[in-house]
Amino acid sequence: MHLLEDLPWYVWIGGGIALFLIAVRHISDTINHIVGEKSKRWINRFTKNLFTAILTGALTTILLNSSSTVIIISILLVTAGQLTFRQSIGIVLGANLGTSISNQLLTINTGLVPPIALIVGLILWLFYKTQKQGRWGKLLFLLGLLFSGLTLMEIGVRPLQDSQEVKQALHHLNNPIQGAGLGALFTLMLQSSTAMMGITVKLVKQHLLSVTAGIAIMLGAELGTVGNTLLATINGTRQALRTGLFHFTFNLITIIFGLILFYPFTNLVTWISNQASPQQQIVNAHILFNVLGILFFLPLVPVVEKFLNRAVPDK
């Protein structure tokens, strides 16, 4: 135990990020194995109009715990000709909302949840390896891994509270542009906005980041997450490329307005959160940002759709 206590902070944080990323990547794959084909049928069935498509995108993202997965599935379905570009628009908007709801898990005080989930999940996974119970066991094990990663990050962050150098470096992130830039960069590197949000929430919880800096990083993470969805459009159809560009356009425009109205938005989050913990205010800001972004963007959808149809013609 003494050896563990002597480990440097960056080992704890690095180990936590590694566990968290492994869990996030494999959770999506595991849930895809459980309900993957069903989710594709649901997406295709309930995207006949914009509002049901938004709802489908949000619910599927909550179910799969990954907005990137849902958007990439949509791009692949568009490439396969099973979805149109117009149908995919609502899914993209809904996926952004769904991931902000999923991030509510980041504020849970897990306690004994990680070890119990790891033990029970591993037993089910090993004893029912090729059956449905085994897949659910694997999912439970991965959730335990995810929460264990968050716990390790929190342990690693604690010693930094006494470091004046770290506090001064992070203080610069109160500038919305710098905070958003860092959030976008790290999300591109991690290939996961959820992982970036997990790190941010833990830093805010330990008072190393202010709520203002946390919200700025959240805005940047929204932009950084478009990287892997744009990659999914390579070798796809022209309609699939439009879907990826729509995701980029939506995130870029809402983030620009988010930065322009940054301080009124931050005040609104504080007022709505009503004395909530700093980390809860960050996830509240994420939900509020996406709800307002969708409401703001809905009247612009026909204009953006028309523009992308012209900018990326079928031939």
Provide the pLDDT confidence category of residue 4 given band limits of 50, 70 and 90: low
Provide the pLDDT confidence category of residue 111 given band limits of 50, 70 and 90: low
Instruction: Give me the mean pLDDT over the 45-66 stretch.
Output: 79
Q: What is the pLDDT of residue 187?
A: 79
- CB burial string 60-98: b at 16+ within 10 A, e below: bbbbbbbbbbbbbbbbbbbbeeebebbbbbbbbbbbbbb
Instruction: Give me the mean pLDDT over the 91-106 stretch.
Output: 81
Is the CB of residue 243 less than 8 Å from the CB of residue 203?
no
Helices of type H across 261-299 = 262-273, 278-297
Instruction: Give me the mean pLDDT over the 103-120 stretch.
Output: 70
Q: What is the pLDDT of residue 265?
A: 93
Is the CB of residue 150 less than 8 Å from the CB of residue 110?
yes
Q: Which residues are within 8 A (CB) of 161 and not within 5 positions of it... i.e. 6 or more apart?
A: 206, 207, 208
Taking CA atoms, 76 is separated from 141, 186, 227, 305, in Å, by 29, 26, 16, 19
Main-chain phi, psi angles of 141, to 5 degrees: -60, -45
| 223-251 pLDDT per residue, tens | 888 877 777 677 677 888 888 899 898 99
Structural domain span for residue 264: 2-311
Q: How far apart are CA 178 and CA 141, in angstroms?
A: 37
Q: Is the pLDDT of residue 259 over 80?
A: yes
Q: Which of 74 and 89 is assigned the larger pLDDT?
A: 89
Is the CB of residue 218 less than 8 Å from the CB of residue 281?
no
Q: What is the pLDDT of residue 77?
A: 74
Instruction: Domain count for the chain, please give it.
Output: 1
Q: How far apart are CA 248 and CA 86, in angstroms?
A: 15
Q: How far apart are CA 244 and CA 135, in angstroms?
A: 31
Q: What is the pLDDT of residue 264?
A: 93
SS3 249: helix
Q: Please report where in the chains the tokens 């109160």 appear, as a residue.
A: 174
- CB burial string 205-233: b at 16+ within 10 A, e below: bbebbbbbbbbbbbbbbbbbbbebbeebb
pTM of the model: 0.72
* Residue 2 C-alpha from the chain's centroid: 36
Highest mean pLDDT among 47-61, 137-151, 242-256: 242-256
Is the CB of residue 282 less than 8 Å from the CB of residue 131?
no
Is the CB of residue 200 less than 8 Å from the CB of residue 184?
no
| 31-45 pLDDT per residue, tens | 666 655 565 666 667
Is the CB of residue 124 less than 8 Å from the CB of residue 169?
no
Q: Is the pLDDT of residue 304 over 70?
A: yes
Is the CB of residue 280 less than 8 Å from the CB of residue 273?
yes
Provide the pLDDT confidence category of residue 2 given band limits of 50, 70 and 90: very low
DSSP 83: S
Provide the pLDDT confidence category of residue 268 given band limits of 50, 70 and 90: very high
Q: How far apart are CA 236 and CA 206, in angstroms?
A: 44
